[in-house]
Amino acid sequence: MEKLTHMNEQGRAKMVDVTEKQETVRTAHAKSCVVLSKEVYENIIQLKMKKGDVLAVAQVAGIMGAKKTADVIPMCHPLSLTGVDISFSWQECEDGQYALEIDTYVKTKGSTGVEMEALTAASICALTVYDMCKAVDKSIVIGPTYLIEKTGGKSGHFKRQEE
């Protein structure tokens, strides 16, 4: 039997080894945004959407989404989250549209950071808003979605400059 090893090593994917990383408290704060029409905004605020209370459902979806992060992001390490919180605020845009700002805060005590959990929570939360409102308007836009701040771990404190 002849060994043939022409596998290209370059592109190989792996869940990198974090066994030696220290367990510390880690937090992450991410943000997403959903931009929608005045009509949709009023339907949400007045609880008139046929699928139900948009923000209540989206918040639950975001929190559950945080717990599913390692399940949907292939190279992400599984983590036992110790806290997830999501808050909403509205902005009136100059073009007459409304922006729903979604802030997610995730915490754990573990060997890897929780940036992905905060970003995934924000994304699932925003997608749920879209789902609850798409019967009224399909042109809703999600994003930008990004990390605001993280603490803990070897790479230490990160705070987005332009905020």
Q: Could you please report the per-residue DSSP string of 29-98? A: EEEEEEEE-HHHHHHHHTT--TT--HHHHHHHHHHHHHHTHHHHSTTPPP--EEEEEEEEEEEE-TTS-E
Nearest approach in angstroms of CB 40 to a copy of itself is 14
Question: Is residue 95 involved in binding a copy of itself (CB under 8 A)?
Answer: no
DSSP 77: P
Question: Closer to a copy of itself at the Cβ: 37 or 134?
Answer: 134
Contact 145, 30 (CB under 8 A): yes
**Residue 76 labelled as part of a binding site:** yes
Could you tell me the two tokens for 26? 């880690």
Task: Kindly state whether residue 39 participates in binding a copy of itself, applying the rule CB under 8 A.
Answer: no
- Here's the x/- map for a copy of itself, 112-141, by CB under 8 A: it reads as ---xx--xx--xx-xxx-xxx-xx--xxxx
Q: Which member of 17, 71, 85, 131 is catalytic?
A: 131
To a copy of itself, the closest distance from the beta carbon of 37 in angstroms equals 13
Binding flag, residue 32, a copy of itself (CB under 8 A): yes
d(CA 24, CA 44): 39
95 is catalytic: no
Q: Annotated binding residues for substrate, as ranges?
A: 75-77, 116-117
